[in-house]
Amino acid sequence: MTEFFQTWMPFEWAWALATICGILLIALPLMLGVAMIIYADRKIWAAMALRRGPNVVGPFGLLQSFADGLKVFLQETIVPSAANKGLFLLAPIITFTVALMAWAVIPFNAGAILADINVGLLYILAISSLGVYGTIIAGWSSNSKYPFFSAMRASAQMISYEVSIGFILICVVLWAGTFNMNGIVMAQQHHVWIINGFVANPLLFPIWVMFLISGMAETQRAPFDLTEAESELVAGYQTEYSSMSFALYWLGEYANVLLMCALNAVLFWGGYLPPLDIPVLYLVPGVVWLLLKILFFFFVFSWVKATVPRYRYDQLMRLGWKVFLPLSLLFVFVISGYLMATGHFT
Partner 1 sequence: MIHVLAFYLFAGLMLLAGLLTITARNPVHAVLWLIVAFFNAAGLMVLLGAEFVAMLLVIVYVGAVAVLFLFVVMMLDIDFATLRAGFIRNFPLGVLIALVLLGELVIGIGAERAGAIRLGLPDVAGQAPEGMSNIAAIGALLYSRYLFLFEAAGLILLVAMIGAIVLTHRQRGGVRGQNISKQVARRPEEATVNLRPEVGAGVKL
Binding site for partner 1 (CB under 8 A): 12, 87, 117-119, 122-123, 125-126, 129-130, 132-133, 136-137, 140, 148, 152, 155, 159, 162, 178-179, 314-315, 318
- The CB-of-284 to partner 1 minimum distance in angstroms stands at 32
What is the distance between the terminal CA atoms of the chain, rounded to a whole angstrom? 37
Nearer to partner 1, 118 or 189 (CB): 118
Nearer to partner 1, 112 or 154 (CB): 154
Nearer to partner 1, 23 or 122 (CB): 122
- The CB-of-155 to partner 1 minimum distance in angstroms stands at 6
- The CB-of-125 to partner 1 minimum distance in angstroms stands at 5
DSSP state of 58: S
SS3 30: helix
- The CB-of-170 to partner 1 minimum distance in angstroms stands at 12
- The CB-of-142 to partner 1 minimum distance in angstroms stands at 12
Nearer to partner 1, 148 or 249 (CB): 148
Contact 42, 305 (CB under 8 A): no
Say how far apart CA 204 and CA 184 lie, in whole Å: 14
> Does residue 223 have a cis peptide bond before it, meaning omega lies within 30 degrees of 0?
yes
Say how far apart CA 205 and CA 335 lie, in whole Å: 12
- The CB-of-105 to partner 1 minimum distance in angstroms stands at 11
Nearer to partner 1, 170 or 199 (CB): 170
Say how far apart CA 190 and CA 272 lie, in whole Å: 13
Residues β-bridged to residue 81: none
- The CB-of-126 to partner 1 minimum distance in angstroms stands at 4
> How many of the other CB atoms lie within 10 Å of CB of 333?
9
Q: Among residues 63, 229, 277, which one has the least CA distance to residue 238? A: 229
Nearer to partner 1, 65 or 238 (CB): 238
Nearer to partner 1, 29 or 177 (CB): 177
Q: DSSP states of 73-97 as a string?
A: HHSPPP--TTS-HHHHHHHHHHHHH
**H-only helix segments in the chain:** 2-6, 11-48, 64-74, 85-101, 120-141, 145-176, 181-186, 205-218, 230-233, 243-268, 286-307, 313-318, 325-341
- The CB-of-5 to partner 1 minimum distance in angstroms stands at 16
> How many of the other CB atoms lie within 10 Å of CB of 31?
15
Nearer to partner 1, 179 or 241 (CB): 179
70 Cβ neighbours under 8 A, 6+ residues apart: none
Q: Among residues 11, 45, 40, 4, which one has the least CA distance to residue 25? A: 4
Nearer to partner 1, 151 or 248 (CB): 151
- The CB-of-64 to partner 1 minimum distance in angstroms stands at 36
